[in-house]
Amino acid sequence: MELKEKTILITGSTDGVGRRVAQRLAKSGATVLIHGRDRLRAEGLLTEIRNLGGSGAFYPADFSSRSQVRALAEAIQRDHGRLDVLINNAGIGVGVPGSSREVSRDGYELRFAVNYLSGFLLTRLLLPLLQKSQPARIVNVASVGQQSIDFADIMLTNGYSGARAYCQSKLAQIMFTFDLARELDGSGVAANSLHPATYMDTAMVRKDGIAPISTVDEGANAILHLAVAGETEGMSGLYFAGLQPRRANPQAYDAAARERLRSISLELVGLPNAHPGTSSGA
């Protein structure tokens, strides 16, 4: 993809693999929209982006707040006439073993809210801009760690663990990706998800007490492969592990489960359920 005239939004890009993806895109002359909560880190990244030959802007938002996600989408739509790539990378890890259940500002289980619901809402709000800019791409940064969703207790009020919450939120991202790809078929907007790399050397991984085994560049390579590489143009509705397509948790291919997740998600984020369910698996 020729990037000099492209505008790309990367959530969770002031640190970790999101930051590396922003740096790499800046070298190609893209307009890189970065998101996070730390303004000081963001300003440092913007300086790097400009020094590397790109341009950019910072949009702060706390993804534990539905209203801040809405404000982020409004700001992007206000400031930019196009959006060529949306990379939903923001997220939080499993937490330290034995940590207590946490909730978002809206009262939802925190990992489900930050890792999945906020990206779901942001994507749906930005779809008109992406469709206007087609061909466009959506990349959801998920994980090989996936847990089937218990629709009877989607907020994990019983039997909570940080690992279970994280893995459920990551499967939800993949289910959303498959569902969205079918909805957008023929629109010129592709949607894919991936596990970028295992335990990258990031602050999130170290905070969870895990020894890194992959580099940030490995993860960035995989994300960029889906976001801007020519060889993945036209691909949609896929889950990748690194640079290769893989099978996700079986629930991701259950059309009824995806429809149920979509209906619940639309209600939780306050959007109308105007998208009919699909009739076949991804």
What is the DSSP code string of 203-218? HHHHHTT----B-HHH
**Angle CA 38–44–49, to nearest 5:** 120
What are the counts of helices (DSSP H) followed by strands (DSSP E) for the chain?
9, 8
pLDDT-derived band at 198 (thresholds 50, 70, 90) equals confident
Q: At what angle do helices 255-269 and 118-132 cross, to 10 degrees?
A: 90
The residue-averaged pLDDT of 216-237 equals 96
Q: For position 213, what pLDDT does the model report?
A: 72
Give this prediction's pTM: 0.93
pLDDT-derived band at 274 (thresholds 50, 70, 90) equals low
The residue-averaged pLDDT of 242-253 equals 98
- Percentages helix, strand, coil for the chain (3-state, rounded to 5) are 45, 15, 40
- pLDDT at residue 278 greater than cutoff 60: no
Q: How far apart are CA 225 and CA 182, in angstroms?
A: 21
Q: For the chain, how far is it from start to end, CA to CA, in angstroms?
A: 26
Q: Which two tokens stand for residue 103?
A: 């909730």
Q: Which two tokens stand for residue 191?
A: 């949607």
pLDDT-derived band at 208 (thresholds 50, 70, 90) equals low
Bridge partners of 185? none
Domains and CATH numbers, the chain: 7-268 (3.40.50.720)
Q: For position 275, what pLDDT does the model report?
A: 52
Q: Which two tokens stand for residue 161?
A: 């663990």
Q: How far apart are CA 127 and CA 123, in angstroms?
A: 6
Active site residue 253: no
Catalytic residue among 116, 166, 199, 239: 166
**Angle CA 91–96–102, to nearest 5:** 60
The residue-averaged pLDDT of 222-236 equals 97
The pLDDT mean for the chain works out to 93
CA 178, 179, 182, 185 dihedral sign is negative
Q: For position 117, what pLDDT does the model report?
A: 98
The residue-averaged pLDDT of 237-265 equals 98
- pLDDT at residue 135 greater than cutoff 80: yes
